[in-house]
Structure 1
Amino acid sequence: MPCGLDIRIHDNCQSFTAMNSGGTFLKLMEKIFRRLENKCPDMRSIFLTTAFVNSLSRERQSPPIVKTEYDHCKCMVGIFERLIENLDKINEQLTIIRHYGEKHAQMAESGFTGVMIEQFGEISVFIIGSQDVVKFNHETVKAWRLLLACVTDEMKVGFDRMTRINGRRNSCNPPATTVAGN
């Protein structure tokens, strides 16, 4: 298992099914992002900047670009649905999560940081861990903590990797300068 962890599939599946009924997990994601915005006030401007830049794009993305915080919450629900459904293939799923981290590196110029990913993980552990369906079962708490730690770690690995690559690309291509009078 990645991260040297034995994720209890049954505990995650049962509790996720309970939390995902009636849109509860979406509401949890909204709560997580509100708390993240409180801890990282730059998040609001990053969402607004990204939404504005994406709205100017003439390319049609498939799947569609995540433009708003609400879109991001819906996307996260989908990610967790696929993750939970495929916990028996956790390595493949974490590779996908790492790729999402790489995609977030393009927002580094807008102020997005790896610390924000870590904060997301910490807040998620607190909020998901405080749900009745999770908090009253020690094994379920442990399973969610381990799963969220793996997701956060892989997301950050992807983000850090692509941020370093982008930094190297930028240092290899210094801005062109012109000399007056030539």
Structure 2
Amino acid sequence: MDDHIKLLIQFFDDLIANIECETTTVAMIKQVGQQHAILSQTCGFHSDIWEKLGEIAMEKICSTDIVQKTREAGRAWRSVIAFVTDELRCGFDGESRVFSSIRRRSSAEHLFEENNEDLLQKLQQIRMDYTSTVPMN
């Protein structure tokens, strides 16, 4: 968990360092959301967790003395947190849909292969039954 917190702090440091370049910032945020999408398939991680993260971040950051002293700082942090939360969720949701469609397609292909093998076995059995019962000239 400590490593995850360090990564989160580094993430916000990188965002602030790149705040002037919107495309880089948005790409960084979405990439983090995308990297977490696999968790939707493996451990029930859902997109509403990003909202919870945003709420916690707002509560903790906006309760610090330095942010409370200036109204503009609180407003700025709330805007940044809302923006980051929305983009994280967007990246997560997009990639989760990709994982979900791959999983569905894989399941459908697997069923098709099983049905195909079953069908081939039945056809072979019908041929053997036919050749054993019908006299060949």
TM-score (norm 2): 0.77
Q: Is the 8 A contact 1:83 1:90 kept in 2?
A: no
Q: How far off its partner does 1:94 sit?
A: 1.7
Q: Distance in 2 between matches of 1:142 and 1:117?
A: 20
> Does residue 117 of the first structure (1) align with residue 50 of the second (2)?
yes
Q: How far off its partner does 1:158 sit?
A: 0.3
Give RMSD over aligned pairs: 1.8
> Does residue 168 of the first structure (1) align with residue 95 of the second (2)?
no
Q: Give the counterpart letter for 1:119 in structure 2.
A: K
The corresponding residue for 1:71 is 3
Q: Distance in 2 between matches of 1:112 and 1:81?
A: 25
Q: Give the counterpart letter for 2:12 in structure 1.
A: F
Matched positions, count:
114
Task: List alignment gaps of at least 5 residues for structure 1.
Answer: 1-68
Q: Give the counterpart letter for 2:37 in structure 1.
A: A
Structure 1 runs (4+) deviating above 2 angstroms are 175-179
Percent of aligned positions that are identical:
30
The partner residue of 2:92 within 146, 159, 181 is 159
The corresponding residue for 1:89 is 21
Q: How far off its partner does 1:91 sit?
A: 2.8
Higher-Rg structure is: 2
The partner residue of 1:107 within 3, 28, 39 is 39
The partner residue of 2:80 within 139, 143, 147 is 147
User: Greater shift after overlay, 88-97 or 129-138?
Assistant: 88-97
Q: Distance in 2 between matches of 1:149 and 1:108?
A: 22
